[in-house]
C-alpha cells in the first residue's frame, strides 16, 4: 500500500509538471531548445544571467516531460525528435527574438552550447532559421529603423518646400532685373520717332528743284539747233 501511494504521488507530480510545461509552451511568444552539455559552471551562470536580463527563462527539463508537454501543446512528432540527450528550453513571453539572439551570441564563444530547434510565434523553426533570426536587429534597432523610414517623407517635404521658396525668389530677382532694363528703352523711343519725322522734310525740296530745272535743259537744246 505504501509503495502504491509513493508511485501515485510520483505520477501525480509528473503529470503536474507536464501540465506546467505545456502551459509554458502555449503561453510563450517563442522558445528555443538547446543542449548545454559540456558547459562549465561559470559559462552556465553567465548564460542564465544574459537570458534573465533579456526577459528569458532557461529550464533544464527531462525529455519525457518535454515530449508529453509538447504533444499536449499541439506540436507534431518531428519536433519531438529534438528532445534527445540533455535538453534545456529558453522561454520568452515578450520578445520573440530574444532567446534566439542571446543563445546564438553566446554560442559564438561557447561551442558546447548546441541550438537544436525552436518555435517562434507559433512557427516551428530549424536551427538555421533561428540563426538567421538572431542576425536581425533587436527591438530597439528595428524601432530606430522604423523611425528613420517614417521621418524620411517629412524631410523630403521640407526639402521640396525650401526648393520652391528658393526658386520663387530667383524668379522674382530675374523679373525685377528685366523691368529695370526695359525702362530706359521706353524713354529713348521718342528720339527715334523724331528722326523718322525729319527725313521726309529734307527730301521734299530736292524733288521740286529737279522739276523746276527741267525747262532750262530744253532751252539749251533749242539754242543748239539754231
pLDDT in tens, 40-58: 999 999 999 999 999 999 9
The whole-model pTM stands at: 0.59
Alpha-carbon torsion (41, 46, 47, 49), positive or negative: positive
pLDDT at 218: 45
Q: What is the mean pLDDT of the chain?
A: 76
pLDDT at 157: 61
Residues 179-204 have pLDDT tens digits of 555 455 444 545 454 444 554 544 44
Contact at 8 Å (CB) between 104 and 113? no
Residues 150-162 have pLDDT tens digits of 776 666 666 666 7
pLDDT at 156: 65
**DSSP code per residue over 74-135:** T--HHHHTT--SS-EEEEESS-SSHHHHHHHHHHTT-TT-EEEEEEETTEEEEHHHHHHHHT
Contact at 8 Å (CB) between 58 and 51? yes
C-alpha cell belonging to residue 191: 528720339
Using CA atoms, how far apart are residues 57 and 42, in angstroms rounded to an integer? 18
- What residue ranges of the chain have pLDDT lower than 50? 172-174, 177, 182, 185-187, 189, 191, 193-196, 199, 201-226
pLDDT at 212: 47
Quick one: DSSP state of residue 61? Answer: -
Amino acid at each position: 500500500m505504501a509503495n502504491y501511494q509513493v508511485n501515485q504521488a510520483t505520477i501525480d507530480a509528473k503529470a503536474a509538471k507536464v501540465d506546467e510545461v505545456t502551459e509554458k509552451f502555449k503561453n510563450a511568444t517563442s522558445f528555443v531548445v538547446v543542449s548545454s552539455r559540456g558547459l562549465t559552471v561559470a559559462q552556465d551562470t553567465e548564460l542564465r544571467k544574459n537570458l534573465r536580463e533579456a526577459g528569458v527563462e532557461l529550464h533544464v527539463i527531462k525529455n519525457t516531460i518535454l515530449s508529453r508537454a509538447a504533444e499536449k501543446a499541439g506540436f507534431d512528432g518531428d519536433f519531438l525528435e529534438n528532445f534527445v540527450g540533455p535538453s534545456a528550453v529558453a522561454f520568452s513571453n515578450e520578445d520573440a527574438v530574444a532567446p534566439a539572439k542571446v543563445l546564438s551570441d553566446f554560442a559564438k564563444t561557447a561551442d558546447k552550447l548546441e541550438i537544436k530547434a525552436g518555435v517562434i510565434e507559433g512557427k516551428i523553426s530549424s536551427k538555421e532559421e533561428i540563426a538567421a533570426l538572431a542576425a536581425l536587429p533587436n527591438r530597439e534597432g528595428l524601432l530606430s529603423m522604423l523611425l528613420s523610414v517614417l521621418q524620411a517623407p517629412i524631410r523630403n517635404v521640407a526639402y521640396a518646400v525650401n526648393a520652391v521658396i528658393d526658386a520663387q525668389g530667383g524668379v522674382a530677382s530675374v523679373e525685377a532685373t528685366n523691368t529695370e532694363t526695359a525702362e530706359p528703352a521706353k524713354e529713348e523711343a521718342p528720339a527715334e520717332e523724331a528722326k523718322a519725322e525729319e527725313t521726309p522734310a529734307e527730301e521734299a525740296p530736292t524733288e521740286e528743284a529737279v522739276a523746276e530745272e527741267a525747262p532750262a535743259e530744253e532751252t539749251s537744246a533749242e539754242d543748239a539747233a539754231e
